[in-house]
Amino acid sequence: MDTTNFATMPAAPPSELTAPSLLATMLRAAGFRYHWATADLPAEALPFRPSPGSMSLQELLHHMHRLAWWLEGTFADRAPQPRPDSAFADMRTATLNSLAAAAVAVLETPSSALASTTVRRGPDAPASPFWSVLHGPLADFLTHVGQVTSWRRIQGSPAPAARYFEGLGPDSAAAAPVATSSSGPTPTRFQSQDLAESVFHDVALTGADFNDVSLAGAKFTNVTFAGATLKDVDLSNVNITDANIEGLRIDGELVSG
């Protein structure tokens, strides 16, 4: 599954707050911020270091690659070996792949099993409790995202100005709520957005309005589309599993009545 497009945060939040949904959202946030911190990074900036005793950008990004690999190895079934000699573009992709795999694995893990997860600093190191993930590799990764952003600005190649609070890229259109009666939930409107390769898991999109949106390659699992409307939406290679599509309309046509 290709979930490496971290240009935006998932269009809809999880339907309920659980330990897996919270941790998966933090992993997605790490990938989202890393995506934009490293976007359009020129090769000539990689050797830059802000002081003689600090890591270069290249060295820092390799360290972040290892942290992401560590997170994937903790939560996913596989633990791929980091590639220290990878070119930056390959290393960036591998880093995002690891964060995506970790997030997906966490969402598929029951809270009880997540609580018993342990983390190791190496194959022969003693096991540490789950909480070490939060103040260890995950917090470390987010700290380094800020360093990458700062060093790029100092070096003269600032990162694109993403809209971090909204979870959107620099050129994304914000989702606007649709006014409804106070007796029911407020549907969500997605207008002129690129949501290609997004992952929607265990969310309610009841009555949602998608207009001029790309959902190419998106994955929907346990999602409610009841009463939703889609107009001028790219649905190529969309993967939908366990979805309620009662009353869904696509370009005015009723899909399920």
Crossing angle of helices 57-75 and 88-107, rounded to 10°: 30
Q: Which of 29-43, 112-126, 224-238 has the highest mean pLDDT?
A: 29-43
Q: DSSP letter for 201, please.
A: E
Which of the pair, 204 or 176, is modelled with greater confidence? 204
Q: What span, in angstroms and rounded, lies between the C-alpha atoms of 216 and 182? A: 33
The CATH 2.160.20.80 portion of the chain extends over 173-257
Distances (CA, A) of 202 to 92, 151, 162: 28, 38, 26
* Whole-number pLDDT of residue 96: 94
Q: Flag whether pLDDT at 179 surpasses 90.
A: no
Q: Are strands 188-191 and 199-201 parallel, antiparallel or unpaired?
A: unpaired
Architecture of domain 173-257: 3 Solenoid (2.160)
Predicted pLDDT at 12: 74
**Span(s) in the chain for CATH 1.20.120.450:** 19-155
Mean pLDDT of the region 111-124 = 82
Instruction: Please check whether residue 178 is in contact with residue 186, taking contact to mean a CB–CB distance below 8 angstroms.
Output: yes
Torsion angle of the four alpha carbons 114, 116, 120, 126, in this order, in degrees rounded to the nearest 10: 180
pTM over the 0.75 mark: no
Q: Is the pLDDT of residue 108 over 50?
A: yes
Fold classification of 19-155 (topology level): Four Helix Bundle (Hemerythrin (Met), subunit A) (1.20.120)
pLDDT tens string 122-171: 777 788 888 999 999 999 999 999 999 999 999 999 999 988 888 888 87
* pLDDT mean across residues, the chain: 82
Ramachandran assignment for 149, one of left (phi > 0), alpha (psi -120 to 50 degrees), beta (any other): alpha
Token pair, residue 140, equals 């470390």
